[in-house]
Amino acid sequence: MKIAFTGGGTGGHFFPIIAVAEEVNKLVEERKLVNIKLYYLSSEPYDERALFENKIEFVRIHSGKWRRYFSLLNFIDLFRIAFGTIGAFIKLYFIFPDVIFSKGGYLSVPVVLAARVLGIPVFAHESDSLPGRATLLAARSARRVALSYAEAAEAFPPERQGRLLVTGNPIRNILKYPLTEGAREFLNLEPDVPVIFITGGSQGAQALNDVVVDALPELVKRYAVIHQVGKANLEAVRQRSKIVLENSPQANRYKLFDFLNPSAMRMVAGVAMVIISRAGSFIFEIAEWGVPAILVPIPEPISHDQRTNAFTYARSGAAMVIEQGNLLTSVLVSEIDRLATNPKLRETMVAAAKGFAKPEAARVIAVELLNIGLTHEK
C-alpha cells in the first residue's frame, strides 16, 4: 500500500503530517502490514531528518498561489497552478498511491486536482476554525475531511456533513508530554520565579516581538521571560533587548532563542505559567500541555483564520485574546499580572485547556487513512 502526504511548506502544515505518519508507522507494526510506502509531495522537504526518521520519500511538486487581494501575480500564478497540476498528475500516475492525506495550503491544490482525475481517494484535514480554500476544494471529492474545530463544520454544505470528522490537530509524540524535572536547570532559570513563554511561531512575529521587548524592563522584575523570535528576527531583537535592559539588575531573566527544538520546547512547557502566542495550529500544543494562554492573532487582512481560531479557543475558557491593534505594552503587562496574581483563574484555564485538547488526533486520522488505503488497494 502507498500513502502520499501533501501540504503547504510551513511548520503548521508539515508537522501535523509527521504526527500522522508516526501513527501510521505504529499501526503498520501493530497490524503487521507489509510493503507500506509513504511519500511527501511539496515544493521543499522542510525537515529532511523528520522525513527520514518516518520512512517518507520526498517528491518535489510546484504550484502557484492565489492571493485574496488584487495582484497581477494572481494571473501569472494561474499558469503555475495549471503546470503544477500537470506535474502532480505525472508524478502521481507513476507512484499511484492508494490514498492521499491533504493538509491544505496552496501546494496541496495540484495534488488534489490530479488525484480527482486519477480516481485516487483523498483524506483532507483542516487546522483552522475557518476552513481554507484548499480544504474546501478538496472536500468536494474527499472521502473524509477531518476538522480541528467543530465550528469549522458550518462552512461545509449539508451534502458533505456526513464526511466530516472532528479530530483536533495532530501533534507529534515528542511534543505531547511536558518535562519538569531538570527544566529550570537546563534553561538556567531561578527556582521560584514565574516563567512566561512568548513565541510568534516558527518564523517569529515582529509586531509581537516589538511590544514584548518594550515591556521587558517591567516583566523581568517579576518573571523569567523565554522568548522565541525566529531566525530572521534574532539579531534585531537581541540588539534592542540589550538596550532596554541595559540598566536592569534582572536582565539575566530574559532568555532569547531563535528556535527551540522539541526537547527544549517540552521543558519550557513544563515550567511556563503562561504562553503568549499567535493563534495558528500551535494552540493545540498549548492545550495539550494544559498551560494558560494569551493569544495575539495575526490581523484579518493578513490571515483570515487566526482571529477566529483565537476567539474559538478563548470561548473554551483556556485563553485570553489581545487583538494586535490593542497590543500595547501596558495591556500586555496588565494581562500577565492578572494571571500571575489569580491562581483560581489559572486553575480554571488549565482545566479548560485539558478539556479542549484532543491527544488522539493523529491516531484517529491514521486509522481512517489506513482503512481508506487498504480498501482502495483491494
Return the pLDDT at 70. 59
CB count, 10 Å around CB of 209? 24
Return the pLDDT at 201. 64
170: helix, coil or strand? coil
Confidence grade of residue 204 (pLDDT, cut at 50, 70, 90): low
pLDDT at 66 over 80: no
Mean pLDDT over each residue of the chain, to the nearest integer:
93
Global confidence as pTM: 0.92
Residue for grid cell 521560584 = 192
pLDDT at 87 over 60: yes
User: What's the CA gap between 207 and 17, in Å, rounded?
Assistant: 29
Q: Average pLDDT in the 345-374 region?
A: 97
Return the pLDDT at 230. 87
Confidence grade of residue 68 (pLDDT, cut at 50, 70, 90): low
Q: For the chain, give me the number of helices (H) and strands (E)?
A: 14, 13
User: What's the CA gap between 66 and 73, in Å, rounded?
Assistant: 8
pLDDT at 72 over 80: no
**Which residues fall within 8 angstroms of residue 106, CB to CB, at 6 or more apart?**
8, 63, 64, 65, 66, 134
The tens digit of pLDDT for each residue in 121-144 reads 999 999 999 999 899 999 999 999
Q: Would strands 37-42 and 122-126 be described as parallel, antiparallel, or unpaired? A: unpaired
The tens digit of pLDDT for each residue in 231-261 reads 889 999 999 999 999 999 999 999 999 999 9
Residue range(s) occupied by CATH 3.40.50.2000 in the chain: 2-171+359-377, 177-356
**CATH code of the region 177-356:** 3.40.50.2000
The tens digit of pLDDT for each residue in 300-325 reads 767 778 999 999 999 999 999 999 99
Percent of the chain surpassing pLDDT 70:
95
**Which residues fall within 8 angstroms of residue 18, CB to CB, at 6 or more apart?**
47, 50, 51, 54, 172
pLDDT at 53 over 80: yes
**Which residues fall within 8 angstroms of residue 112, CB to CB, at 6 or more apart?**
6, 100, 102, 122, 124, 134, 137, 138, 141
Q: Average pLDDT in the 331-356 region?
A: 98
User: What's the CA gap between 356 and 318, in Å, rounded?
Assistant: 8
Return the pLDDT at 76. 67
Return the pLDDT at 200. 83
Side by side, the strands of the sheet bearing 224-228 are: 254-257, 224-228, 195-199, 272-277, 293-295, 319-321
- The answer to whether the CB of 40 falls within 8 A of the CB of 59 is yes
Q: Average pLDDT in the 179-208 region?
A: 88
Secondary structure of 321-352 as H, E, C letters: ECCHHHCCHHHHHHHHHHHHCCHHHHHHHHHH
Which grid coordinates are listed for 8?
503547504
- The answer to whether the CB of 10 falls within 8 A of the CB of 106 is no
Confidence grade of residue 81 (pLDDT, cut at 50, 70, 90): confident
Return the pLDDT at 1. 93
**CATH code of the region 2-171+359-377:** 3.40.50.2000
pLDDT at 64 over 70: no
